[in-house]
Each structure stands twice: as structure tokens, then as C-alpha cells.
């Protein structure tokens, strides 16, 4: 039976009605129309569906939508302020940190949560962090470069 | 930006939607009133179907229909892309299994429902009763029976030249190895998906979610549904990685179209990851027993190879292409007097196989370079020296041999194989490195270096076209029959058009993957998009340029030769800062009713075509330095150099991206990724917890040497393909380095070198 709830995503409330078994990823995509969050494995390994909920990076495929009620959810659609991209978005383009772009929203959200917490993140810690998501196109090197460049920009702006 | 767009590492036109969540992949596409399709798949590797019960599934609220093979008698098995192949016809895969189940994952039934969750629930209720038969798991075992009168050895391939018996009779030494490549595949991050839609008002059948070869697939699908190609259109959206796997015609593509036609409702199918790992094309699995005859100086007299190609349960759209390429490309960069390849094309009870990035090359580079290492060890010669003695020389180009790859006679167009090897050896400091590694090994470390050389192939024609048009605002549209699988196709085409025409690449919109916009197209496969389509774009842009200058010369009272186009403005060459006309204005003069058109065809737009007689052959080498952890059997790659001559790089940043991405996939196939099956044919790698894609943790820094020393003489831009160079020799180079680390030539005989396999080797060697 469907259940009514309000999801708070990127500062906006979405009144939706979903079955309790519907994942947060599916609800974001199907019910909120936010298709920037992608599904790559649906069992928490690839990280393509990474979102930020109450400040923490989470796999949206491993949560039910009903569990996200009351949380402040952020997705890739909320990263830019109007037409102004975030430092990470700019850096991914500048450093060719994406090819097909399917894993990109997950990497952007993962890195956003880490850099917002600590733009001075160390190299080893950053490599550990980025190892939690899969990319099949880039070979990762340019993703690391992009995140490093964005970290420097964010640190300078602090 | 003008006149210097080619060769620049410009940022990509593709990126803005992809970094802002505005991309549109097939799962993001929905049509009103659509149904969701779920495939019921075989859980058995080899069985005879007794009965299929669909009543419970059909009764579930929200279910619209359930189909088995009996519901689509009009649809035959899936055809081969390049035409009829008589002897393989009876082996083709049915869209839904009819009497037999031949692999775990084979589609048996489909459920259509109002919601994807309900479709999945209903699929679980379909019951398949079947009698198990003994599965065939090993392609090199005795052939079995596919169907009455049909052996599982569906074909034997032969290629070769020279007097092989004489070569071996006269040999100073004969060196033989027996090596295997594991089963792995492209595994893009986005699974497959398709939406069938029938436009009843216009009588047009549409497949949304096309990739790779939209035009060719349109022809095949039009035949399936008895329609002309004008009544069936393909639509490509963003594509989350292709790698050879996506964009072939699979059962699901035909099913969504058949259902859309019959139900007159859109039908959407999105694959899940477990399905992908048992349903999408797998690749690579081969065993080679190969021997070489050499003279006392190490010169190759002959290579004699017998191999077993594990095709899985059915030949797919590629038919025998991978096995045939294996025969044709195996000799690589080396000369030899005689060659014989015999390939056993075997069907087994596994997921069907087809192409994966560098098909036939990842395999043969491993096999051939293993053989070269074995020869060097036997003759006590350095691995470098042996290779150098046998390489095709620069002054021997073009170098043809009586072999074929993709039905194209092999003829290497240009290259300096030895010169590029020297660059890599210098970069890595090969001689000093050997001393350093020797010293470390003396202290007990298991560390070594290895190398592999390779020749790629790219740009198979024969022909591609493009259309370039400029609107009255000066915006440019390049319409191609190419396809984008994430590689940067739009950017590269825009760069070529920008430079040729004289415009800003950011003002160019590139169309691809739309059969309703252009009649023909070669798509994006086998590293041909840049070679073929970019040269067609260049031809079209040259025609538009000539037309624009013709109009402008008349209006500016000048001669075309006295004018240039810079950044979309026609200017006088002798006074570029003076009077000018924009391309948009010229397009205005060419509107149908314009009096200044003066009999010219309306519109600032032209077609362009490019014909190619032969493929181009880029080449390279890879050097690995690896250390082995005795305790865990884990391999750490300390250094990795990839040298690649691409002829001419349109966008070096994107070429490097292709090389780095390909490398990591190659690393997966070398050390981690494998589709394993148990003795009953049950697949054991059906999640990302079992099928191990490399993460950043496993990825070393890679040093890329991107050379442009040997432009292709076979196209005006001098281009060779970029897509498959990074992956091509990773298994080969790492195997060579691991042998060196172990101090035993020939220790590595099988890919992937998983930790378990390496631990066993360490145990056997008493290390």
C-alpha cells in the first residue's frame, strides 16, 4: 500500500506517495523527477547513486524512500547555484574527469560531502574515499586531479 | 577559436548536462501510458523445457501480458549483423527460448506490467519446468551436441600463409606454450535499456536507447518486423559506456518493439546489474596452444597456433568476428615467413560471447607476447633484443600480409615500431631499471619488469557521410550517423568542423544516433568513429566553406581565394580587421526566397563523404613494473608506461582519457575480472561483489607517451583510432613482469592472475 510522505530535496519539498519498499533512488528518479541520481548496481557497491542526506554521503539504492522522510537530501541537481557551477563541477569538466558521465553524479556527491567537511583532505584519505565508487571509463586519474583542483579552490575560498 | 581547433585539448561539449544532473540516459526517458517489461531468465545451464506456467503471473494485478516463445511465433532467431552465414544459421539465438535452455540467464518469458516493481513480482511467479541435461563448460573438451545433427564445434576458422611445415623442419628451436585468457567483458556502469514505441498516427516504429550501430541495427530490425527502414527509427540518448557490449541487437530490443507494436503502448525495459552480468555479451575466453619455429638468431620462421574460442551458448550478432580477428591480427608487429591459425569456434553452456574493447587483440597480444618471452628465455636472449630483431621496420611500410581482419586484407599503413619502443625504454630507464630490480630481487623481493608490443586496427570503412549546415544566426549543426558511447564524439567532430570551416567549436551542435536525421551511418565501434566520421565531417565542412566563400565573394566584390573564415566571420585575407560577413548572414542570403541566392541550392548546408579502402593500424607498447606480495598473492603495479602512436590526435586530452580508461579495464582483465562458472554451468560472478571491477585503490599512475610520428596515409587528417590502445596489451605486459618477478619464464599461463592463482604459483615454485 502506498504511503504519503514529503521528501526534502535540494531545499524543496516533494509530496509523494510510494510503496514502503520503494528505494530512495527510485523515488528521487520516478516520483521527484530528479534523474541525475543514477543506478549502477542496486546493491551498494558502485556508488553511482550516492547522495548527501543530513550531511552524510549515502547510497540511495540502499535506503527506502520512507526512511528519508525528515532528512535534508541533496542530489547532483542541487550542486549548482543557478548557473554557477560548484568548484567540483567546474573541475570535472576542466580535467576531463568524466567520459560517459554515468558515474559522475555519484562521484560529485561523494567528493562534495568530503570537501565541504575538509578541503585539506590528504592524498591517501582522498584516494581511500574515491575508491568507494566505481568508474568504468576514465581510469580514475582525472577524477583525482579534478577533486584535488576543486579542493584547492574551496580551501582558497575559505 | 578557429583554425587551431585540431590538436587542442579543448574541454568537452558533452560535459555541461552530465555534471549538472541534466543528462538523459535511457532509464531517464519515459513515455505516457508505458508498460514495463521484465525478462524471466533460465536458472539452468542446459535443459529441455517441459512446461512454462504463466497463470499466476498473469493474474497479478497490474500485469498486462505475459509472453513465452509461443506468443511470438512470427519472430525468428536473431540474425548476424554482416549478413547471412549459412553454417551458423541453425545456431542463432531465439528471442525467447523455445524447447531448450542453453545458459543461465537465457530469456524464457517476459512480463509486461504497469510498474517495474510489479513486473518483477510477476516474473518471479512464472514457473519453468525443465529436464536438466549435462552442460558443456569447457570449450576445449570434446565437442558435444547443440541440437540433433549439430555439433557444438559450430565452425573451424583457418588463416595463414607460407610453408609452415618447412618453417618447423628448418627450425633451430621450436618453442611451444599453452595459455588461456579468462572470460570477462565491458561491464559499463549503466546497464542496458530499451524502449519500444509505436507511433500509430505516423505508422513509425521507434527504438529508444540505441547505441553503437544505430543505422545498421535499424536495417536488421526493419527486416525482423517486415518494414522499410523509413518506417523504423532509432534514438540514442546519453550512453553510459559501450565497450563493444552495448548496442548489439539482443532479445530485449526485439521484444520491446514487438510488444509496442502489438499493444500500441510504449514498452520500457531497464536491465538490472545481475541480469547484465548473465545476459550481456561476455568476451575473451580462449585457450591457445601455440608454437614458434625460430632460427639461431631468434628470427621467427613460423608460428603455428591452434586455439579454442569459447563462444558461450549461441553465436550473437558478431558471429565469428572475434575468433576471425584472433587469426588475422595475432602476428602483431613481427615479421614471419609462415603462419597458420586454426580456431575451434565452440559453443558452451555459458552466456554468449562477442566483442569487448580490443576484441581479438587483448587475447592475441597476451598469447603472442607470452610466446616471444618464451623464445627469449629459450635462446637466452634479452626480451627487447628478440623483439627488435623481428619487428616490421619503418622502411617496410606499408606492410601487407595475406591475412584478413574484419574481412579487410591486413596492410599496416605506417609506423616506426622500434622507434616507439626506444622512447618507452628511455622513459622508464630500462637498463638501469634492470639493475635496480635485480638488486631488489637479490634481497628477496618479488619484483620485475615486463613489456608487450602491439599493433591496433582502426577506422574500418568503407564509407561514411555527414551533413553540415549553418542557420541564419550562425549556429552550426553537424549531422552524423555516428554514435556516442561517452568517448567525446561530439567534441571531436566539432573540433574538426570548427577548424575546417573556420568557426568556434562551442557554436557547433553535433547530431548522432538518430536515424531520422540522416540515412546512413557507421556508428561507433572498432575505433572507427574519428577516422571515418571526422573525415566525412571535414569533407562536408569543406563544401560548406566553399559555398560560403562563393556567396561572400560576390557580395564583398572579391574572389573566394582572397577571403578567409575566422571565428564564423568571412574576412579579407589582406585586411582581416576590415569588412566582414558572418556565416549567419550568408545563410540568410541563401534562404529560398533570397534574391542574392542567384540559382544556388538554398541553404548554407552541404553533405560530405569519405571513402576508405583499408583500415589504419595504430601501434604501441606497454611496460609494467610489478611487485608480488608473498603473503596475499596481490600484485602491486609500481610503474606503467603506455606508448601509442595515433597518427594525429584531434584532442590529446581525450586520447589520453581513452588510454587511461582502457588501461584500467585491461588491468581488470589481467588481475581481477572473471566470469566464473561452476561445473553445473551456474555463473558465480553475478554481482559487483564477485565480479571485481578495479577501483582507484588498484589503479597505478600511468605514464602515457602519445606519439604522432606516423600519421595515416589513408585519410586526409592522418588519423588513427584511439579507443582500444590502453587496454590492448595490459594482460601481456603484466604477465611478462610477473614472470620476471618470479624469476621463471612461462610461470604465468592464464589470465586473470588472481591472488588465488598467484598464491598457487608461488606455492608450486616454492617461493
On whether residue B495 sits in a domain, the answer given is: yes
Which pLDDT belongs to residue B3?
A: 61
Q: Taking the CB of residue B138, how many other CB atoms lie within 10 A of it?
A: 14
Is residue B635 a contact partner of residue B717, using CB atoms and an 8 Å limit? no
Closest partner CB to A134 (pick from B488, B653, B695): B695
Same domain assignment for residues B565 and B690: no
Residues in chain B predicted with pLDDT less than 50, given as ranges, are 1-2
Same domain assignment for residues B658 and B713: yes
B486 chain-A contacts, CB cut-off 8 A = 99-102, 137
Ranges of each domain in chain A: 3-78, 87-157
- The helices-and-strands tally (H runs, E runs) of chain B is 19, 30
Same domain assignment for residues B632 and B737: yes
Same domain assignment for residues B426 and B567: no
Average pLDDT over chain B reads 97
Expressed as residue numbers, the domain containing B662 is: 412-458+617-767
Give the span between the Cα atoms of B661 and B728, in whole angstroms.
Answer: 12
Q: Taking the CB of residue B259, how many other CB atoms lie within 10 A of it?
A: 25
Identify the closest residue of chain B to A144 by CA–CA distance: B696
Is residue B18 a contact partner of residue A98, using CB atoms and an 8 Å limit? yes
On whether residue B70 sits in a domain, the answer given is: no
* Contact between chains at B696 and A40 (C-beta distance less than 8 A): no
- Structure confidence by residue, pLDDT tens digits, A23-59: 999 999 999 999 999 999 999 999 999 999 999 999 9
Same domain assignment for residues B466 and B441: no
Q: For residue B648, what is the domain's CATH number?
A: 3.30.365.10
Cell of B194: 530499451
Edge to edge, the sheet with strand B153-161 lists B153-161, B338-346, B300-310, B286-294, B173-181
Which pLDDT belongs to residue B1?
A: 38
Boundary residue ending a domain (B611, B636, B653)? B611
Same domain assignment for residues B466 and B578: yes
Boundary residue ending a domain (B559, B576, B611)? B611
On whether residue B501 sits in a domain, the answer given is: yes
Mutate to test the interface with B, among A60, A101, A148 (most CBs of B within 10 A): A101
pLDDT at A144 over 60: yes
* Contact between chains at B27 and A92 (C-beta distance less than 8 A): no
On whether residue B573 sits in a domain, the answer given is: yes
Same domain assignment for residues B668 and B742: yes
Which pLDDT belongs to residue B476?
A: 98
Give the confidence band of A82 by pLDDT, cuts at 50, 70, 90.
Answer: very high
Same domain assignment for residues B626 and B759: yes
- Structure confidence by residue, pLDDT tens digits, B642-654: 999 999 999 999 9
- Structure confidence by residue, pLDDT tens digits, B77-87: 999 998 889 99
CA dihedral for B4, B6, B10, B15, sign (positive or negative): positive
User: Could you tell me the end-to-end alpha-carbon distance of chain B, in angstroms, rounded to an integer?
Assistant: 60
Query: B463's torsion region: left (phi>0), alpha (psi -120 to 50) or beta?
Result: beta
Cell of B441: 630481487
Same domain assignment for residues B454 and B471: no
- Closest by CA position to A44, among listed B666, B741, B688, B602: B688
Query: B241's torsion region: left (phi>0), alpha (psi -120 to 50) or beta?
Result: left
- Structure confidence by residue, pLDDT tens digits, B23-37: 999 999 999 999 999
- Structure confidence by residue, pLDDT tens digits, A85-122: 999 999 999 999 999 999 999 999 999 999 999 999 99
Beta pairing partners, A59? A50
On whether residue B113 sits in a domain, the answer given is: no
How many Å lie between the alpha carbon of B667 and the closest alpha carbon of chain A?
Answer: 10
Average pLDDT over chain A reads 97
**C-alpha to C-alpha distances, B572 to B434, B564, B640, nearest whole angstrom:** 61, 6, 51
On whether residue B397 sits in a domain, the answer given is: no
Same domain assignment for residues B521 and B607: yes
Same domain assignment for residues B545 and B585: yes
Number of structural domains in chain B: 2
Strands of B311-362, DSSP E: 338-346
Strands of B89-152, DSSP E: 100-101, 107-113, 127-132, 145-147, 150-151
Same domain assignment for residues B529 and B554: yes
| CATH code of domain A3-78 | 3.10.20.30
How many Å lie between the alpha carbon of B703 and the closest alpha carbon of chain A?
Answer: 11
The CATH superfamily of A87-157 is: [2Fe-2S]-binding domain (1.10.150.120)
Give the span between the Cα atoms of B410 and B415, in whole angstroms.
Answer: 14
Boundary residue ending a domain (B560, B589, B611)? B611
On whether residue B590 sits in a domain, the answer given is: yes
Amino acid at each position: 500500500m502506498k504511503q504519503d510522505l514529503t521528501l526534502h530535496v535540494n531545499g524543496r519539498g516533494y509530496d509523494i506517495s510510494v510503496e514502503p519498499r520503494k528505494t530512495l533512488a527510485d523515488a528521487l528518479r520516478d516520483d521527484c523527477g530528479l534523474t541525475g541520481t543514477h543506478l549502477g548496481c542496486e546493491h551498494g557497491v558502485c556508488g553511482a547513486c550516492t547522495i548527501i542526506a543530513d550531511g552524510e554521503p549515502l547510497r540511495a539504492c540502499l535506503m527506502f524512500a520512507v526512511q528519508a522522510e525528515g532528512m535534508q537530501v541533496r542530489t547532483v541537481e542541487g550542486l549548482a547555484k543557478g548557473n554557477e557551477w560548484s568548484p567540483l563541477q567546474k573541475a570535472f569538466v576542466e580535467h576531463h574527469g568524466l567520459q560517459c558521465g554515468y558515474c559522475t553524479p555519484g562521484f560529485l556527491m561523494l567528493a562534495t560531502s568530503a570537501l565541504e567537511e575538509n578541503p585539506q583532505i590528504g592524498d591517501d584519505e582522498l584516494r581511500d574515499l574515491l575508491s568507494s565508487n566505481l568508474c568504468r571509463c576514465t581510469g580514475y586519474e582525472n577524477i583525482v586531479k579534478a577533486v584535488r583542483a576543486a579542493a584547492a579552490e574551496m580551501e582558497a575560498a575559505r | 577559436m578557429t583554425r587551431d581547433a585540431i590538436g587542442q585539448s579543448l574541454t568537452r561539449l558533452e560535459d555541461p548536462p552530465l555534471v549538472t544532473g541534466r543528462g538523459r540516459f535511457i532509464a531517464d526517458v519515459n513515455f505516457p501510458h508505458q508498460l514495463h517489461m521484465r525478462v524471466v531468465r533460465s536458472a539452468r545451464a542446459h535443459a529441455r523445457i517441459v512446461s512454462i506456467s504463466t497463470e499466476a503471473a498473469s493474474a497479478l494485478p497490474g500485469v498486462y501480458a505475459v509472453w513465452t516463445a509461443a506468443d511470438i511465433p512470427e519472430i525468428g532467431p536473431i540474425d548476424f549483423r554482416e549478413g547471412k552465414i549459412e553454417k551458423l544459421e541453425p545456431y542463432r539465438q531465439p528471442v525467447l527460448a523455445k524447447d531448450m535452455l542453453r545458459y543461465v540467464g537465457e530469456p524464457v518469458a517476459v512480463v509486461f506490467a504497469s510498474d517495474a516493481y510489479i513486473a518483477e513480482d510477476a516474473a518471479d511467479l512464472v514457473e519453468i519446468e525443465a529436464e536438466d541435461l549435462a552442460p558443456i563448460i569447457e570449450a576445449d573438451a570434446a565437442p558435444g551436441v547443440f541440437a540433433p545433427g549439430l555439433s557444438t564445434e559450430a565452425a573451424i576458422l583457418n588463416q595463414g600463409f607460407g610453408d609452415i611445415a618447412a618453417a618447423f623442419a628448418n627450425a633451430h628451436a621450436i618453442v611451444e606454450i599453452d595459455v588461456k585468457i579468462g572470460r570477462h567483458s565491458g561491464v559499463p556502469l549503466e546497464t542496458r535499456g530499451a524502449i519500444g514505441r509505436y507511433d500509430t498516427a505516423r505508422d513509425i516504429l521507434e527504438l529508444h536507447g540505441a547505441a553503437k550501430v544505430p543505422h545498421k541495427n535499424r536495417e536488421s530490425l526493419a527486416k525482423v518486423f517486415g518494414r522499410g527502414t523509413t518506417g523504423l527509427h532509432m534514438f540514442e540518448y546519453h550512453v553510459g559506456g559501450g565497450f563493444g557490449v552495448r548496442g548489439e541487437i539482443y532479445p530485449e530490443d526485439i521484444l520491446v518493439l514487438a510488444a509496442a507494436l502489438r499493444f500500441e503502448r510504449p514498452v520500457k525495459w531497464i536491465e538490472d546489474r545481475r541480469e547484465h552480468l548473465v545476459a550481456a555479451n561476455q568476451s575473451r575466453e580462449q585457450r591457445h596452444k601455440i608454437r614458434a619455429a625460430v632460427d639461431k638468431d631468434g628470427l621467427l620462421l613460423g608460428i603455428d597456433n591452434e586455439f579454442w574460442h569459447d563462444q558461450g551458448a549461441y553465436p550473437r550478432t558478431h558471429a565469428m568476428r572475434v575468433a576471425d580477428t584472433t587469426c588475422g591480427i595475432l602476428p602483431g608487429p613481427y615479421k614471419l615467413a609462415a603462419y597458420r591459425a586454426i580456431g575451434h569456434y565452440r559453443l558452451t553452456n555459458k552466456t554468449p560471447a562477442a566483442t569487448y574493447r580490443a576484441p581479438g587483440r587483448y587475447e592475441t597480444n597476451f598469447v603472442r607476447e607470452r610466446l616471444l618471452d618464451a623464445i627469449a628465455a629459450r635462446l637466452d636472449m634479452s626480451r627487447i633484443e628478440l623483439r627488435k630483431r623481428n619487428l616490421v621496420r619503418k622502411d617496410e611500410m606499408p606492410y601487407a600480409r595475406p591475412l584478413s581482419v574484419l574481412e579487410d586484407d591486413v596492410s599496416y599503413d605506417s609506423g616506426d615500431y622500434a622507434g616507439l619502443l626506444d622512447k618507452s625504454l628511455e622513459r622508464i630507464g630500462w637498463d638501469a631499471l634492470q639493475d635496480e630490480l635485480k638488486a631488489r630481487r637479490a634481497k628477496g623481493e618479488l619484483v620485475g619488469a615486463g613489456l608487450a608490443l602491439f599493433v591496433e586496427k582502426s577506422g574500418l570503412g568503407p564509407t561514411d557521410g555527414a551533413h553540415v549546415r549553418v542557420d541564419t544566426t550562425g549556429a552550426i549543426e553537424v549531422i552524423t550517423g555516428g554514435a556516442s558511447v561517452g568517448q567525446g564524439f561530439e567534441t571531436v567532430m566539432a573540433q574538426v568542423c570548427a577548424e575546417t570551416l573556420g568557426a568556434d567549436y562551442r557554436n557547433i551542435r553535433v547530431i548522432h544516433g538518430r536515424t531520422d536525421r540522416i540515412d546512413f551511418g557507421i556508428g561507433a565501434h572498432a575505433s572507427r568513429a574519428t577516422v571515418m566520421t571526422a573525415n566525412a565531417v571535414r569533407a562536408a565542412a569543406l563544401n560548406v566553406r566553399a559555398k560560403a566563400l562563393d556567396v561572400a565573394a560576390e557580395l564583398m566584390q572579391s574572389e573566394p581565394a582572397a577571403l578567409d573564415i575566422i571565428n564564423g566571420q568571412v574576412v579579407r585575407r589582406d585586411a582581416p580587421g576590415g569588412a566582414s560577413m558572418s556565416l549567419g548572414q550568408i545563410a540568410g542570403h541563401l534562404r529560398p526566397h533570397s534574391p542574392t541566392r542567384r540559382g544556388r541550392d538554398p541553404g548554407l548546408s552541404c553533405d560530405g563523404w569519405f571513402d576508405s579502402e583499408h583500415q589504419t593500424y595504430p601501434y604501441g607498447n606497454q611496460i609494467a613494473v610489478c611487485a608480488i606480495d608473498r603473503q596475499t598473492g596481490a600484485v602491486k603495479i609500481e610503474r606503467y608506461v603506455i606508448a601509442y602512436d595515433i597518427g594525429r590526435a584531434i584532442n590529446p586530452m581525450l586520447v589520453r582519457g581513452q588510454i587511461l580508461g582502457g588501461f584500467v579495464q585491461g588491468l581488470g582483465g589481467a588481475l581481477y575480472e572473471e566470469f566464473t562458472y561452476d561445473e553445473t554451468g551456474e555463473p558465480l560472478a553475478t554481482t559487483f561483489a564477485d565480479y571485481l571491477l578495479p577501483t582507484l585503490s588498484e589503479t597505478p599512475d600511468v605514464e602515457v607517451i602519445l606519439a604522432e610520428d606516423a600519421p595515416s596515409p589513408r585519410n586526409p587528417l592522418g588519423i588513427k583510432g584511439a579507443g582500444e590502445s590502453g587496454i590492448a596489451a595490459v594482460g601481456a605486459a603484466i604477465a611478462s613482469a610477473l614472470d620476471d618477478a618470479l624469476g621463471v619464464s612461462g610461470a604465468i599461463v592464464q589470465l586473470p592472475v588472481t591472488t588465488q592463482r598467484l598464491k598457487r604459483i608461488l606455492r608450486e615454485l616454492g617461493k
